[in-house]
A = this chain, B = another copy of it.
């Protein structure tokens, strides 16, 4: 059992790194920014969702912000994006996979933390998705783009699915490493299927 927290921490840090790298690269591609902008937007992408969740549940200062390891990993991801920029283009596919892994992890841990703080199941599903997609949404708003999550691709829907599986597992008392993995894999599979097939969420007529 004692390896679980270490494993979870390692996964969380990996997700944070992937979000910061991908978030900073997206910001770089879409807006003329300086080093302050690229680092800020990488960190915001990586930590913004968890911060929004923690503000909503009253867990302040937000956990990942208070832990220097998350800040360091997020800053490292954003710095690599700043220094290498387009030279990372050949890694685009791997970065998308890493980003989907981050999405999955954040949806699961976000929903589980919301339940721990006493929120109801529906609220926990929403906050799981907010944890996963909130950072990218903040980044998009800051670079004057209507958030992708609100207009294309399957991004919030897999996060909601992963969070929902998590909430069901907790409410039925079967939550543990195994069910958390199931929830994360559900999110990851939907996300990567959407990427592979170019699926979008339904649009109004």
Contact = CB atoms under 8 A, between A and B. Distances in A.
Interface of A: 28, 31-38, 40-41, 51, 55-58, 60-62, 65-66, 68, 71, 82-83, 85, 117, 119-120, 122-123, 126, 137, 141-147, 149-152, 155-157, 200-205
Counting chain B CB atoms within 10 Å of each CB, the highest count among A33, A71, A141 belongs to A33
Copy number in the complex reads 3
A31 to B, nearest CB: 5
Contacts of A41: 150
Contacts of A40: 150, 156
Contacts of A144: 144-146
Given A28-B204, A36-B150, 18 more contacts: A34-B150, A34-B201, A35-B201, A36-B149, A36-B201, A37-B149, A37-B151, A41-B150, A56-B60, A56-B65, A61-B119, A61-B123, A65-B123, A66-B119, A85-B204, A137-B142, A141-B142, A142-B146
A38 B146 contact: no
A203 B55 contact: no
A34 B146 contact: no
Contacts of A141: 141-142
Contact of A200 (B34, B51, B83): B34
Nearest to A120: B68
Contacts of A82: 204
Contacts of A66: 119-120, 123
A58 B59 CA distance: 9
